[in-house]
Amino acid sequence: MRYNHDDRIVMTLDAGGTNFVFCAMRAEVEIIEPIRIAAAANTLDEVLNNIVSGFEQVKSHLNENPVAISFAFPGPADYKNGIIGDLQNLPTFRGGVALGPMLEETFGIPVFINNDGDLFAYGEAIAGLLPDINKELEEFGNPRRFKNLFGITLGTGFGGGLVVGNQLVSGDNGSGGSIWITRNKINPECFAEEGVAIRAVRRVYAEQAGIPFEEAPEPKVICEIANGKSTGNSEAAKEAWRQLGEVAGESLANAVSLVDSLVVIGGGLSGAYNLFMPSLISEMNSPLKTLNGVPLCRMEVTALNLEDMEQRSVFLKGETKVIKVPGFHRTIIYDPLKRTGVAISRLGTSKAIAVGAYTFALHELDKID
């Protein structure tokens, strides 16, 4: 369900480790200039007061009362009940903080908190990649339609979220889509995020270039070096992105094997997709072996890079053919190519999260009504 013509207002928050960015949305559009408040504080009370102050400032700019507050916040958390656990980037959160209930008491409206990876996937499923791809398939004359989407965000961490049949799947413990904790293929004793994050790109570049980690440039510069737009160790830069793609591809192969969905990629590192997408797709399609050494397809579906025109054409065309119904004159269209597509965010990460937060709140309110 789309709420792009809905008049209700929802106050939102983009909670990062550096800044809290507050805003308000109506009809899937931000209606005020975002308000920024530093996230860092010495005590929990200071952080909570800053959050309340941010929403109070947003409300003061509105001509109508908001119907809810909805936003993404770092985990671990009991998102359903609005309780935030022990946070790494916000160390004042310890022992369980009832942030949602506190805001409900303060503002007198429902409060919904989710993981950013969940809301990113939800926004792309509602108004981004999923409807775009289905529209293209329809225009191409292909009867296939896709209903499931796995979203990942590449940045400070390795976030994930899953939407099945237009429903956000948060899981029994609010941990659905937690791809970051899957096994790291290159360093099997580590979790995947150690190979799929800003620190991973810098670490591999430093190792390959033979320099200390502290001297490694930021990923944006490493991307420019790999693309020949900045000076540096080109081979080290390319290897850093290749390894990110390999680790992410292994994790996504496991995820897609379970949920059978399209994949959308967002986050600050997604702009380097031309550097990591080839190894990501290659890893998803790489074969495993039986104990007898016989190759076996890594997944039951073929992964295709939707940012590559040739692979995109294969995805849209499929292997569509007309077959006869045995014993009758009737014919039907059949597309035997099992496939998934991997693409970059259509909305942009921040907008996708905002659309997801807005839609989640109104959908929950409509269920209550």
Residue 63, pLDDT > 90, answer: yes
Residue 89, pLDDT > 80, answer: no
296-327 pLDDT, tens digit per residue, is 888 999 999 999 999 999 999 999 889 999 99
Which pLDDT score is estimated for 165?
Answer: 92
248-287 pLDDT, tens digit per residue, is 999 999 999 999 999 999 999 999 999 999 999 999 999 9
In angstroms, the CA 72 to CA 129 distance is: 20
Which pLDDT score is estimated for 156?
Answer: 87
Residue 331 to residues 75, 101, 222, 318, 337: CA-CA distances in angstroms? 52, 58, 54, 18, 19
The percentage of residues in the chain with a pLDDT greater than 70, rounded to a whole number, is 99
- Domain positions in the chain: 9-114, 120-346
Per the CB < 8 A criterion, the answer to whether 89 and 74 are in contact is: yes
State the alpha helices, DSSP H only, in 307-348. Answer: 309-317
For residue 178, the Cα-to-chain-centroid distance in whole angstroms is 11
Average pLDDT for 165-188 = 92
Which pLDDT score is estimated for 126?
Answer: 95
In angstroms, the CA 68 to CA 33 distance is: 18
Which pLDDT score is estimated for 15?
Answer: 86
In angstroms, the CA 173 to CA 318 distance is: 38
90-135 pLDDT, tens digit per residue, is 889 999 999 999 999 999 999 999 999 999 999 999 999 999 999 9
Which pLDDT score is estimated for 141?
Answer: 86
- Hey, what amino acid is at 8? R
Residue 304 to residues 88, 123, 282, 308, 309: CA-CA distances in angstroms? 35, 22, 9, 8, 10
Per the CB < 8 A criterion, the answer to whether 72 and 23 are in contact is: no
The percentage of residues in the chain with a pLDDT greater than 90, rounded to a whole number, is 85
Q: What is the pTM of this model?
A: 0.93
Instruction: Decide whether 9-114 matches 120-346 in CATH topology.
Output: yes
Is residue 369 very low, low, confident or very high in pLDDT (cuts 50, 70, 90)? low
13-28 pLDDT, tens digit per residue, is 988 777 889 999 999 9
Which pLDDT score is estimated for 250?
Answer: 97
Q: Does domain 120-346 have CATH number 3.40.50.10860?
A: no
Query: Average pLDDT, whole number, for the chain?
Result: 94
The structural architecture, per CATH, of the domain 9-114 is 2-Layer Sandwich (3.30)
Structure tokens at 90: 């916000």
203-224 pLDDT, tens digit per residue, is 999 999 999 999 999 999 999 9
**β 331-334/167-168 pair status:** unpaired
Which pLDDT score is estimated for 175?
Answer: 86
Which pLDDT score is estimated for 131?
Answer: 96
Contacts of 174-183 spanning 24+ positions with Cβ under 8 A? 174/75, 174/77, 174/78, 174/79, 174/80, 174/115, 176/118, 177/115, 177/117, 177/118, 177/121, 177/150, 177/151, 179/117, 179/152, 179/251, 179/252, 179/255, 182/250, 182/251, 182/254, 182/255, 183/250, 183/251
Which residue in the block uniquely carries the two structure tokens 């995947």? Answer: 192
Per the CB < 8 A criterion, the answer to whether 66 and 365 are in contact is: no
Which pLDDT score is estimated for 43?
Answer: 94
